[in-house]
Amino acid sequence: MNWLKKGGTSEQKNLRRESDRFMTEKSSDKNLYLFPLHQQQAKSDLDRISSIADDNPFSSVVPNHTNLPSPQEFSPPDRRQKREKQVTSLKAKPTPKSTANKPRSTKKGKKYASNPASHPRNSGRKKKVSLADKKYNPALKPLYPPLLLFLRLSVISVGLSVILGTVFSIANTTHSLLTEEITPPAQATQEVTNSNNEQLNHFASGFILGQELTSLKIKLENLATQYPQLEPGIFLIELDQNGYVSLQGTAPFAAASTIKIPVLVAFFQDVDAGKIRLDEQLTMTEDVIGSGSGDMQYQPAGKEFSVLETATKMMTISDNTATNMLIKRMGGVDALNQRFLEWGLTATVIRNLLPDLEGTNSTSPEDLGNLLAKIDRGELISLRSRDRLLYIMRNVVTNTLLPQGLEDKATIAHKTGDIRSVLGDAGIIDMPSGQRYIASVLVKRPDNDPKAKELIQQISRTIYQHLKWTKPQPFTENIIAE
């Protein structure tokens, strides 16, 4: 073996190294067990060693590869026997694929056979879910985000609140309607008549008033003091802002011919209701002929007049006979008084046919003003009838009272009244600036005092000039009427 230790050619050195490795592996069972040589690789190495040894005189030293043990013999006997038994059992009894994941056939295994996921060893394991399962399995869909869930619950709660609130509101309204005591219109009007409260009279009139025009009221009061023998009643409504002035506005006055304004409104109400036709013919009888103003009294009894002509004469020339004919045609005094009461005219009453020289028929400045305000707003009668009514009242012949305080381009639709104890005028005035207001003035006077005419003219002029040069105040509601 000395030739293998030192010197020699490169092939001899390689042979020496291979031999040392081989001998080392053979002498160390531990290395053989841990690193067993493959059979083909071992044979190849031994053939090379044998070919080199044949050329060497010391070839008998190198062991023949045919005498080497097989690689299987390098393994320990117990390990080899165990492997052979395993291979033999697997070949004799192959395991089917269908039972590869079958639980053990123990009593405990039988217990969890129907639900393997409940087994303690699987309690902490996470089930592997494929992409297809995540896509098509609805049970694996994520829960709604908390915000979306909160919004949906909020919408549901609001909807339920609205429904419950509506139900309670309807129930409450129904209960109040069933339990509310309704005051008859006649009784309510009688209560207004018995009251001297000015605001209650505004309420009965059915008109919404704004601020009181205090500065104008002071001017009118100062003007009235210059005529101590006269007792004026004034009511003014500025229709743009509903500003108003009332001086003795609710006090009753003898109506004289101003009573013809509510009679004309009642006439057009019947026209609108179809009770009267404008081309209808009325026969003048003896019981309706009235003295005083007008020319129909000079016509023979039995003469016929159209109903529209009769109404026009009643206003333009203040014909008393025409007024009596319309009162009779509309059902008489009592029927008209009931209508006036329904309109909220608490001081307006017809007690005698015209001429009423004693002044038994009565009204008030506020009654006349509120009635004209209703007409201006299109209440009580239709718009077509309102146009006819205003056209007739713009053609009144007597223009010696309110018109005298207006400027040239102003227009007025009005009706005057004149008896010995009272002088009055009420109308709707349109200013060139576009402003519109209502003025109603009644003046009690002693024995046909001509100063009453002068006072009414001064009142009209003061109102007109004040509204012309004073900027209207913003509307603020003062009294609300039904």
CA distance 392 to 271: 15
Asked whether the beta carbons of 288 and 308 are under 8 A apart, the reply is no
Residue 188, pLDDT > 60, answer no
Each residue's pLDDT tens digit, 8-60: 667 667 767 766 665 655 544 444 444 444 555 555 665 666 565 555 554 44
CA 11 from chain centre, in angstroms, equals 109
Average pLDDT over residues 374-395: 96
pLDDT of residue 174: 59
Fold of the domain spanning 198-469: Beta-lactamase (3.40.710)
Phi/psi-derived region of residue 244, left when phi > 0, alpha when psi is between -120 and 50, beta in every other case: beta
Each residue's pLDDT tens digit, 192-235: 444 434 443 444 445 678 899 999 999 999 999 999 999 999 99
Asked whether the beta carbons of 449 and 187 are under 8 A apart, the reply is no
Residue 152, pLDDT > 80, answer no
Residue 182, pLDDT > 60, answer no
Q: For the chain, which residues make up each domain, given as ranges?
A: 9-77, 198-469
pLDDT of residue 446: 95
Higher pLDDT, 118 or 425: 425
Q: Which residue has the tokens 């001509």?
A: 450
Q: How many CB atoms lie within 10 A of CB 203?
A: 18
pLDDT of residue 165: 75
- Cβ neighbourhood burial of 207 (10 Å; 0-12, 13-18, 19+): buried
